């Protein structure tokens, strides 16, 4: 076998591998739509009509589009943070809890600083939300960095602690004293994120996220030594170590950074959409963020697109179940199913495209 | 391609393999139509360089791989093995390149392990003493005595190999396949092994010895088959008619000459030490002292070969020098700076390059691209990084240059390194490490698993470095390599340098082996 022929075989393998790897997001989206159609069919809705309604109610007119972007905002924020952690091979499953802690911290800050002039309460509330999220990620980060304890378990279990802790606060010390609903009082106006178009809920957070955060994180992950360090640690920690990188520090950094982003996501919902802290502030943005980060291939641009897709499905399925009087549980069930399928699919495709597994036909004979 | 096996061959040959083709799932064609036969009671050498397909062919014979095409006839009957157990039933057994013994078991336990037939093992309870006695008697009967109660972990490599062979004999194997058994042995142990093989042959066993060293084939073989890139390059019925260089040529197919030669040693007096290790103690992963009181001096412009049986503290020594493992005691000085316990980054920036033994584990990141792998040690520094931003264009330019200069065969510089062959991965690592302009290089088993061409390339590069005044610490289990490249040789045994040869020419191999094995100190 001459070296030219060998090179050709290798190039063919690489080509196949790239096609397989790049085509999966498309397959995942198609698969998601097929599952939506199947669920509709099973509950007695015409899938074609159903899908059309779904698409219309997420992207059909300007109002729906802005609503989808508003929905995409917290998912994208969480997901950009997870991108850093996942790139370094750190599996933070705790964004949901970090988001709740960030949300409650932002709400408390905003309420107590409401008397200050405008953007100050807002800015301090965001910082508080981010820092609270990062601190919530500290115990798993430290345990992982110091003792190698698997972060998947610790972060996941802290989600429940966070959500119930927030629930306790909202039923106790933070309960709205006039309505006696388990939620905080409405935030003072000085801490609200400015709306962009009158009559629409589209707010400055969404704009900032897409226009500033996405390019910025892209630069950091793809073009700075910080991002390169993360990818090196994620792909081969042993090599990273012998290049002089401190693995423990990278783990601390990324886990807390992703907690920071999740906390910001909570602050964003509190100051931009709900305007108070509630026990149902997130319908699972922390988990959607996981699927979106993977579907977007740990690339900010891909993640932005994936978050819009995910938001469209969420909004569409809520609208549909209201319009067709289907129990809302079906919408939530379908969302959960999609998260699982996308996440598993991505992990599976990574495994399948690992070292030398792409199939290649054998040409009989061959050179000598 | 189908030649019928004649009646005469049936009587004479215990194994006939015809037209064997094997393609690995990744697309590598390992065997391209190989014919191979074994006669009853012969010692047959299967010779070929790394990657020639020797292991693949033997795994097919031993039932652990299935061929894509071709047929296998054993003792007159065509067979289709589905597992090594099928082959074992017909008396075929294989000792693999890497030991498959359980380190924490005794010799006797390892020998009977997984062989649940007859005798002592029919009872539910395993009687250890009866078992040990049986194994002792058995090993003496076949002429390969062992201590059945010894813990396998503590045996030298030669003994472990003997246990592996006994394992097969105990299962009544009469066709024994040994895959590169000599690669980890000292010359002394090789001699012992060959003696044992001759004894087995006298008892009527058929033996396949896989090796890539012509000298060994000539020393013991009745017949030789040479494999080259998945084909039979030659069948030698009478090894008396060929010599070492003739065989070497058959193995490679063409002459490959090393183009760089060593220029004379720098004068003793002006030598400056590049790396000094004083009274070093280092623990291994289990917390046991692996390096105990080691002293070593490496000078600029020399290749110091560290000869030793694997597992005598080499790994821990290297990790301590690099800063990957904190020594418990001692002093390491690199280029005049004390680096004991300093972080890796600091040590590297003094001018230390590292060619690691485990290429895929520590040498490259298989998921990152060729270009990225070429700069993993300097992307954060000028000129690749300015004002916090990485210059991707410059990195690609640099990578293209390196690929050209070092002849790295890759689909393109953006493809993940997992698509490169072992030889090309090693070229990449060397390109990267040398681009750092090191003053000291640690090369750990730098040619393990490489073919002749790639091996020559690595050797040339190491000699070039030395000629430029770089200090090279060469750690290798391949004694031929050490002897070929080194200016001086240090023998490591039991975590200590037990002997330093200042002149390589007059070395007595027997004495060297004895130092390596710890017989002499
Ligand atoms: N498990 C495997 N998967 C893919 N390719 C393999 C595998 N094992 C060996 N090869 C390839 O098959 C060829 C022959 O390998 P091998 O039989 O191990 O050669 P040898 O034992 O003569 O060194 C080499 O190119 C090697 O890279
Ligand atoms: Mg082999």
Domain ranges of chain A: 75-297
Closest CB to B343 among A219, A244, A368: A244
Q: How far is the CA of B56 from the centre of ligand 1 (A)?
A: 6
User: Are residues B389 and B342 both part of a single domain?
Assistant: no
User: Are residues B267 and B377 both part of a single domain?
Assistant: no
CA distance A81 to A104: 19
User: Are residues B278 and B303 both part of a single domain?
Assistant: yes
Per-residue three-class SS string for chain A: CCHHHHHHHHHHHHHHHHHHHHHHHHHHHHHHHHHHHHHHHHCCCCHHHHHHHHHHHHHCCHHHHHHHHHHHHHHHHHHHHHHHHHHCCCCCCCHHHHHHHHHHHHHHHHHHCCCCCCHHHHHHHHHHHHHHHHHHCHHHHHHHHHHCCCHHHHHHHHHHHHHHHHHHHHHCCCCCCCCCCCCCCCCCHHHCCCECCCCCCCEHHHHHHHHHHHHHHHHHHHHCHHHHHHHHHHHCHHHHHHCCCCHHHHHHHHHHHHHHHHHHHHHHHHHHHHCCCCCCCCCCHHHHHHHHHHHCCCCHHHHHHHHHHHHHHHHHHHHHHHHCCCCHHHHHHHHHHHHHHHHHHHHHHHHHCCCCCCCCCCCCCCCC
Closest CB to B418 among A242, A245, A355: A355
Average pLDDT, chain B: 88
Query: How many other C-beta atoms can be found within 10 angstroms of the C-beta atom of residue B152?
Result: 20
Which residues on B lie below 8 Å from A10 (Cβ)? 409-411, 419-420
User: Are residues B165 and B19 both part of a single domain?
Assistant: yes
Q: Whose CA is nearest to atom 12 of ligand 1?
A: B30
CA distance B354 to B404: 22
CA distance A342 to B112: 49
User: Are residues B325 and B203 both part of a single domain?
Assistant: no
B206 lines ligand 1 (CB under 6 A): no
User: Are residues B124 and B247 both part of a single domain?
Assistant: yes
pLDDT of residue A360: 34
pLDDT at B264 over 70: no
CB B175 within 8 A of CB B93: yes
pLDDT of residue A363: 30
Tell me, yes or no, if A5 comes closer than 8 A to chain B by beta carbon.
no
- CA–chain centroid gap for A123, Å, is 22
Domain end call among B231, B252, B273: B252
Non-local CB neighbours of B379 within 8 Å, separated by 6+ positions: A225, A228, B372, B385, B390, B395
Angstrom CA distances, A24 to A27, A274, A314, B321, B410, stand at: 5, 35, 21, 45, 25
Query: How many other C-beta atoms can be found within 10 angstroms of the C-beta atom of residue B82?
Result: 10
Closest CB to B409 among A7, A228, A358: A7
Contact yes or no for B26 and A357 at CB 8 A:
yes
Domain end call among B412, B437, B462: B437
pLDDT of residue A206: 93
The pTM is what?
Answer: 0.81
User: Are residues B316 and B446 both part of a single domain?
Assistant: yes
The domain of B404 spans 362-437
- In angstroms, what separates the C-alpha of B429 from chain A's closest C-alpha? 12
Least confident of B280-284, B401-405, B417-421, B444-448: B417-421
In a domain, B356, yes or no: no
Size of interface A-B (CB pairs under 8 A): 110
Q: How far is the CA of B428 from the centre of ligand 2 (A)?
A: 23
Q: Within 13 Å of residue A217, how many CA atoms lie on the same side as its CB? A: 29
How many domains does the structure of chain B reveal? 3
Q: Whose CA is nearest to atom 18 of ligand 1?
A: B55
B51 lines ligand 1 (CB under 6 A): yes
pLDDT of residue B39: 95
In a domain, B357, yes or no: no
pLDDT of residue B118: 54
Non-local CB neighbours of B280 within 8 Å, separated by 6+ positions: B291, B293, B294, B295, B317, B320, B327, B329, B330, B331, B332
CA distance A34 to A360: 30
pLDDT of residue A74: 97
Q: What angle do CA A138, A142, A147 make, to 5 degrees?
A: 155
Atom of ligand 1 nearest to the CA of B48: 22
Q: Whose CA is nearest to atom 17 of ligand 1?
A: B53
Interval B281-297: pLDDT, tens: 999 988 889 999 999 99
In a domain, B243, yes or no: yes
Contact yes or no for B32 and A242 at CB 8 A:
no
Which residues on A lie below 8 Å from B229 (Cβ)? 1
* pLDDT, mean of residues B252-265: 62
> Quick one: tokens of B124?
């539910």
- In angstroms, what separates the C-alpha of B135 from chain A's closest C-alpha? 42
User: For chain B, what percent of residues have pLDDT higher than 70?
Assistant: 92
In a domain, B512, yes or no: yes
| pLDDT classification of B471: cutoffs 50, 70, 90 | very high
CB B499 within 8 A of CB B296: no
pLDDT of residue A27: 83
Q: Which residues of chain A have pLDDT under 50?
A: 1-5, 355-368
Least confident of A215-219, A249-253, B307-311, B326-330: B307-311
pLDDT of residue A366: 31
- In angstroms, what separates the C-alpha of B378 from chain A's closest C-alpha? 9
- Ligand in nearest proximity to the CA of B52: 1
CATH number of the domain that residue B140 is part of: 3.40.50.300
- Ligand in nearest proximity to the CA of B29: 1
Ligand 1 pocket mutation, candidates B27, B55, B209, criterion most atoms within 8 A of CB: B55
* pLDDT, mean of residues B379-407: 91
CA distance B32 to A1: 10
User: For chain B, what percent of residues have pLDDT higher than 90?
Assistant: 58
User: Are residues B269 and B209 both part of a single domain?
Assistant: no
pLDDT of residue B450: 82
Contact yes or no for B409 and A6 at CB 8 A:
yes
User: Are residues B148 and B26 both part of a single domain?
Assistant: yes
Contact yes or no for B388 and A225 at CB 8 A:
yes
Domain end call among B252, B272, B294: B252
User: Are residues B112 and B223 both part of a single domain?
Assistant: yes
B41 CB-contact burial (10 Å; exposed 0-12 / middle 13-18 / buried 19+): middle
- Can you list the positions of beta strands (E) in B356-487? 385-386, 389-390, 440-444, 471-476
User: Are residues B144 and B27 both part of a single domain?
Assistant: yes
Contact yes or no for B345 and A244 at CB 8 A:
yes
Non-local CB neighbours of A276 within 8 Å, separated by 6+ positions: A107, A176, A183, A184, A185, A186, A187, A270
Interval A58-102: pLDDT, tens: 999 999 999 999 999 999 999 999 999 999 999 999 999 999 999
In a domain, B428, yes or no: yes
Interval B112-154: pLDDT, tens: 887 665 554 555 566 778 888 888 999 998 888 999 999 988 8
| pLDDT classification of B235: cutoffs 50, 70, 90 | very high
B54 lines ligand 1 (CB under 6 A): yes
Tell me, yes or no, if A229 comes closer than 8 A to chain B by beta carbon.
yes
Atom of ligand 1 nearest to the CA of B54: 22
Which residues on B lie below 8 Å from A229 (Cβ)? 380
Of residues B248 and B258, more confidently modeled: B248
Q: How far is the CA of B360 from the centre of ligand 1 (A)?
A: 16
Q: How far is the CA of A13 from the centre of ligand 2 (A)?
A: 24
Rounded to the nearest 10°, the torsion over CA B75, B76, B81, B83 is -10
Interval B165-221: pLDDT, tens: 999 998 889 999 999 998 878 888 899 899 999 999 999 999 999 998 888 999 999
pLDDT at B478 over 80: yes
Tell me, yes or no, if A351 comes closer than 8 A to chain B by beta carbon.
no
B210 lines ligand 1 (CB under 6 A): no
CA R_g for chain B: 25
């Amino acid at each position: 076998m001459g070296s030219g022929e060998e090179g050709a075989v290798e190039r063919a393998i690489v080509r196949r591998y790239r096609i397989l790897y790049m085509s999966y997001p498309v397959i995942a989206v198609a698969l998601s739509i097929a599952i939506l159609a199947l669920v509709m069919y099973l509950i007695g809705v015409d899938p074609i009509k159903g899908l059309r309604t779904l698409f219309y109610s997420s992207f059909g007119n300007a109002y729906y589009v802005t609503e989808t972007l508003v929905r995409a905002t917290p998912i994208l924020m969480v997901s950009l943070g997870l991108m850093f952690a996942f790139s370094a091979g750190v599996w933070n499953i705790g964004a949901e809890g970090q988001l709740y802690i960030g949300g409650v911290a932002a709400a408390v800050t905003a309420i107590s600083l409401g008397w200050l002039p405008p953007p100050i309460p807002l800015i301090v509330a965001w910082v508080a939300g981010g820092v609270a999220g990062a601190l919530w990620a500290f115990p798993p980060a430290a345990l992982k960095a110091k003792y190698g304890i698997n972060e998947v378990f610790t972060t996941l279990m802290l989600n429940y602690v966070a959500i119930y802790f927030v629930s306790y606060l909202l039923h106790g010390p933070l309960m709205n004293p006039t309505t006696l609903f388990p939620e905080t009082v409405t935030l003072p106006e000085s801490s609200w994120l400015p709306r962009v178009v009158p009559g629409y809920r589209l707010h400055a957070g969404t704009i900032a996220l897409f226009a500033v955060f996405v390019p910025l994180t892209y630069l950091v992950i793809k073009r700075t030594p910080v991002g390169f360090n993360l990818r090196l640690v994620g792909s081969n920690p042993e090599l990273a170590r012998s290049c002089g990188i401190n693995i423990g520090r990278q783990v601390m950094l990324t886990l807390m950074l992703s907690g920071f982003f999740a906390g910001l996501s909570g602050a964003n919902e509190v100051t931009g959409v709900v305007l108070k802290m509630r026990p149902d502030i997130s319908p699972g943005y922390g988990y959607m963020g996981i699927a979106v980060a993977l579907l977007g291939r740990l690339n900010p641009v891909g993640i932005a697109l994936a978050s819009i897709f995910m938001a469209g499905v969420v909004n569409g399925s809520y609208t549909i179940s209201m319009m067709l009087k289907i129990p809302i549980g079906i919408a939530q069930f379908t969302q959960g199913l999609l998260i699982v399928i996308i996440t598993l699919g991505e992990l599976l495709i990574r495994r399948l495209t690992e070292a030398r597994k792409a199939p290649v036909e054998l040409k009989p004979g061959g050179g000598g | 391609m189908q030649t019928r096996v004649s009646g005469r061959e049936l009587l004479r040959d215990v194994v006939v393999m015809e037209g064997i083709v094997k393609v690995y799932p990744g697309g590598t064609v390992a065997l391209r139509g190989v014919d191979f036969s074994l006669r009853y009671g012969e010692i047959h050498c299967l010779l070929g360089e790394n990657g020639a397909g020797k292991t693949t062919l033997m795994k097919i014979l031993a039932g652990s791989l299935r061929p894509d095409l071709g047929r296998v006839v054993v003792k007159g009957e065509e067979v289709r093995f589905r597992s090594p157990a099928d082959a074992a039933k017909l008396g075929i057994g294989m000792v693999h390149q890497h030991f498959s013994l359980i380190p924490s078991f005794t010799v006797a336990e390892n020998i009977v392990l997984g062989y649940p037939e007859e005798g002592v093992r029919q009872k539910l309870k395993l009687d250890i003493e009866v078992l040990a006695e049986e194994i002792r008697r058995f090993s003496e009967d076949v002429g390969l005595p062992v201590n059945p109660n010894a813990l396998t972990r503590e045996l030298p490599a030669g003994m472990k190999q003997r246990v592996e062979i006994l394992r097969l004999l105990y299962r009544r194997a009469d066709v024994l396949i040994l895959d590169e058994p000599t690669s980890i042995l000292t010359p002394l142990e090789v001699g012992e092994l060959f003696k044992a093989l001759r004894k087995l042959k006298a008892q009527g066993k058929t033996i396949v010895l896989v090796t890539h060293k012509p000298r060994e084939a000539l020393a013991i073989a009745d017949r030789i088959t040479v494999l080259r890139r998945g084909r039979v390059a030659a069948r030698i019925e009478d090894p008396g008619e060929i010599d070492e260089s003739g065989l070497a040529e058959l193995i490679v197919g063409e002459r490959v000459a090393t183009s760089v030669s060593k220029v004379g040693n720098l004068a003793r007096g002006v030598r400056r030490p590049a790396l000094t290790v004083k009274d070093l103690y280092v623990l291994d992963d289990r917390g046991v002292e692996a390096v105990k009181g080691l002293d070593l001096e490496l000078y600029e412009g020399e290749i110091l070969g560290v000869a030793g049986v694997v597992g005598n503290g080499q790994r821990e020594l290297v990790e301590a020098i690099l800063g990957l493992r904190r020594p418990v005691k001692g002093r390491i000085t690199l280029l005049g700076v004390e680096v004991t316990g300093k972080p890796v980054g600091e040590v590297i920036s003094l001018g230390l390059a590292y060619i690691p033994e485990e290429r895929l584990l520590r040498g490259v990141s298989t998921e990152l691209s060729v270009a990225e792998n070429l700069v993993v040690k300097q992307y954060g520094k000028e000129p690749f990084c300015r004002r916090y931003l990485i210059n991707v264009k410059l990195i690609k330019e640099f990578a293209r240059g390196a690929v050209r200069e070092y002849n790295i065969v890759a689909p393109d510089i953006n493809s993940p390194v997992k698509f490169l062959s072992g030889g090309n991965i090693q070229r990449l690592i060397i390109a990267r490490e040398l681009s750092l302009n090191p003053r000291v290089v640690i090369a750990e088993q730098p040619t393990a698993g490489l073919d002749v061409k790639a091996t020559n390339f690595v050797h040339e590069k190491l000699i070039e470095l030395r000629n430029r005044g770089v200090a090279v610490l060469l750690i290798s289990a391949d004694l031929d390599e050490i002897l070929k490249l080194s200016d001086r040789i240090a023998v490591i045994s039991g975590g200590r340098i037990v002997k330093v040869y200042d002149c390589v020419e007059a070395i007595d191999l027997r004495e060297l082996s004895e130092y390596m094995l710890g017989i002499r100190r």
